[in-house]
């Protein structure tokens, strides 16, 4: 996994990783993910819709 992370970064991608324990049996996970994507959108702007 770490090699893939480095390869993506070398290609110019940003990598945001989540741990399984953040998501499994965590009642706050949906709100945490929603906040993450809201913050990501605020940082980079809205993504164009695919048609």
The dihedral formed by the CA atoms of 4, 34, 30 and 26, expressed in degrees to the nearest 10: 60
Half-sphere exposure (CA, 13 Å, Cβ side) for 30? Answer: 1
Q: What is the pLDDT of residue 50?
A: 61
Percent of the chain, pLDDT > 70? 90
Residue 51 pLDDT: 58
What is the C-alpha to C-alpha distance for residues 37 and 18, in angstroms, rounded to an integer? 13
pLDDT at 26: 94
Q: Of 19, 47, 46, whose CA–CA distance to 33 is shortest? A: 19
pLDDT for position 15: 86
Q: pLDDT tens, 18-41?
A: 999 999 999 999 999 999 999 999
Percent of the chain with pLDDT over 90: 71
């Amino acid at each position: 996994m770490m090699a893939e992370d480095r390869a993506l970064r070398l290609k110019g991608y940003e990598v945001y990783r989540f741990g399984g324990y953040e998501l499994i049996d965590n009642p706050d996970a949906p709100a945490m993910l929603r906040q993450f994507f809201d913050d990501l959108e605020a940082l980079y702007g809205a993504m164009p819709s695919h048609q």
